[in-house]
Copies of this chain bind each other. A is one copy, B any other.
């Protein structure tokens, strides 16, 4: 992609003043997102590249635990929400009044859709277990939508739902998904900062689990057991007598953190509300046992920004860098060679953002640092017949021939 043709083709010097959060400031300045209203953002082409990479990582991992991808509607019937008693209780529900007493819900989650849908097709223990998931917009009328992509009123989410004959079977699958979640944090660059965290189970269970990523700008407070690599949300730390629930360690570290995912044992709350039963191997009817598992895609991207930046801008992990290469052409004499490198990198299978704009070197370098693409290449009068290689996360600069460059790119992205 030639940067002169990218929308937008120039970053902003300043973020909107009302935008308090660091993630939104950097993402808006870089042209990754645009703010439409409080808590409602457009993903611009650069930001959408990042989201698509995050989506594909999540898809591969959820497919590996036999999740089946589908798409449920945004609009949901009121009566399902009345059935689960959440029409009145879910306090951030967007409702649509169609007149003549008809009302709809804009889904903040999809238990109210998937439970009656599964009920149409699942009758016997032979039909269980199964798990389905989707990437779909969610809607919550958050009164405090001021944390950029961390707390949106409209946001993209991966939601997975699993269905089981028993709590034992649910526990087995739940642990499998928990391991898969760890892989997702590893693959998106959040692995070392993210901890499985005991949290309130809400209406469903005594405890649920969240995944919390350490970040000074996090909205949550957790107590971290460094031995067990797990944490407890402040909301239940007293219930656990200020101890690690696994090892009893009392030396827990208080930290700010961002919730990047959650997993809930719903058990039979929804199946009982809808009367969703299966016939077990002895011919007896039982309520289906359920769980749900969420990851917000924009929130994950924002968490990466909150935890992967320096004073100059974003430092994308290479797994979700919007382009593999940011190629900077400095000076008019560099055009021919830059075009050659642009073509050669693309031919070798690497995506390239090619800065072909007429702009000062300083402005180009500053913008490359702001955008944070993992590998920066420079071609200028000073680089001769070689290409300057710099990784965004490192300070070293090297001069490489075209052949060395392509080998280095292969090695870098295969690591």
Contacts and interface: CB of A to CB of B under 8 A. Distances in A.
- Interface residue tally on A, bucketed by range: 35 or more
A97 B98 contact: no
A154 B105 CA distance: 13
A121 B34 CA distance: 11
Contact of A8 (B42, B44, B94, B121): B121
A75 B153 contact: yes
Contacts of A95: 96
B7 A73 contact: no
Nearest to A136: B137
Contacts of A70: 7, 42-45, 47-48
Contacts of A75: 36-37, 40, 139, 153-154
A117 B42 contact: yes
Contacts of A5: 66, 130
B132 A7 contact: yes
A45 B68 contact: yes
Nearest to A4: B126
A411 interface: no
A294 B97 CA distance: 28
Contacts of A77: 36-37
Contact of A68 (B4, B6, B74): B6
A4 to B, nearest CB: 8
A51 B154 CA distance: 23
A315 to B, nearest CB: 23
Interface string A90-112: 00001111100000001000000
Interface of A: 1, 4-10, 31, 34, 36-37, 40-45, 47-48, 51, 66, 68-77, 94-98, 106, 113, 117-118, 120-121, 126-127, 130, 132, 137, 139, 141, 153-154, 156
Given A8-B120, A42-B70, A74-B154, 4 more contacts: A7-B121, A36-B73, A96-B96, A97-B97
Top 7 nearest A-B pairs (CB, nearest first) are A8-B121, A45-B68, A43-B71, A48-B70, A40-B73, A42-B72, A45-B70
